[in-house]
Amino acid sequence: QKEVEQNSGPLSVPEGAIASLNCTYSDRGSQSFFWYRQYSGKSPELIMFIYSNGDKEDGRFTAQLNKASQYVSLLIRDSQPSDSATYLCAVNKAGGGNKLTFGTGTQLKVEL
């Protein structure tokens, strides 16, 4: 079992719809959770981070964390073609410095 699992996709959504990206993790010691966006040929860019159970909203993005279920998700409202990218889920353990464990990413395609 991989430490961080994501559906590789591609996940296709129409422009203006809500895109829902999911991630599960296996280590209950994981403490912080990150979503990175990576455009083809570019480096990852942090878009959301969440530490506590519940929802965290930032503009069109909402991160959701459920530690009991070991599940973290990212919702993108009003999806735009510019949101088309690979979304990487990453987790970090308590006291782990910056040793992030990444999922392999979900490719999102927002269609006109």
Kindly list the residues in this chain that would bind other proteins in the complex (CB under 8 A). 31-32, 34, 42-46, 49, 51, 88, 90, 92, 94, 96-105
* Residue 15 CB, nearest approach to other proteins (Å): 28
* Residue 7 CB, nearest approach to other proteins (Å): 13
Comparison of 15 and 104: residue with beta carbon closer to other proteins: 104
* Residue 92 CB, nearest approach to other proteins (Å): 5
Phi-psi group of 47: left, alpha or beta (phi > 0 → left; psi -120 to 50 → alpha; rest → beta) = alpha
